[in-house]
Structure 1
Amino acid sequence: METKTKAKKAPVKKTTASKTTSKIPAKKNAAKELKDLFEDSLKDIYWAEKALTKALPKMYKNATEKKLKSAIEQHLAETQIHVKRLEECFASLGKKAQAKKCDAMQGLIDEGKSIMEETEPGPVRDAGIIAAAQKVEHYEIATYGTLAAYAKILQEKTCLKNLLATLNEEKQCDELLTKVADTTLNSKAIKK
């Protein structure tokens, strides 16, 4: 006859967030209002878009698939427009366009470079370039969506119009990259 033994469960230690983390003190120039956070975030994405105008040509040069090269080329042209739209946002706020280093975008660009270094030219590298580019697109989609929400509540109509236009283009680029990966690249990257 088989006997069943019950495993003893270790007692669960209850902790609260306040016990396990500490508050981060704000910097002296920290945002005090949503408008401050909005303007600071615009500086961040402005830097990111300008950095992409330098990173996308490197991706283009390393891509081999025609459809991928075309998608990168198209997005580079759009990115240059995104920079201009952000400059219009700053102007509508009565501010000079100013960039503040975006650590997130720098990390994504560095990761893209690393992927290219770690893959052989051809379909596998192309698949890696798409993965890196889509990570960038998803970051931009999240950022532009948030900025548009801020612009709406702050009643910054020019900014809202520009941010929504860019958000739409970022979503379209992501869809195009998915289509290129699904219809062409990923199947070519399988070693037979």
Structure 2
Amino acid sequence: MVRLALAGVHSLVLSPLCARCPHGRAGCCEAPPAVAWADVGRIVLLGGRDFLLAEIREGRLAPQRRGLSIRRVPPSEPLPERCVYLGPSGCVLPPDRRSATCNYYLCEEAFGVAAAAGDPGVRLGRAIRDDLTAHFGRWDIELADRIRERYPEGPPWDGEFLGWLGAELALLVRGARLPPRC
């Protein structure tokens, strides 16, 4: 029930249980996470600079103090208000364009159901989720400090800024102990 794709900072922790979320039809997508500084840098490192610029221009992503916020769309049957990227079959974005949280976060309820069914992926899935949550949290703080130092008036949200942010994240990732790669 817990599926893992180990790829260091780009690891995925997935479960078909999300489609039956006890918290509602849109699950976690009712309150999408920020695309925080480390997320923005990660997307840039995976070739998504132009994607981010286009999404900002289109209004699906909006600059904010901690990075980018994901626009929410109004309720439409059968879904409540939710992330702009949630489609009828789940997220319409590939993993390399999502906030990292969307790739590695799995709630305790899903882990609990999987554990009760004897799923051997639960322990490693929880460890990866917790490890990546800690890494991305630290990187967001470090990147925020670097951004304030380099751009005291606020970042310009252009290709040059995004390239710089990706390079800064690459430096932080290089020094980190991350989940293994398959």
TM-score (norm 1): 0.33
Which has the larger strand fraction? 2
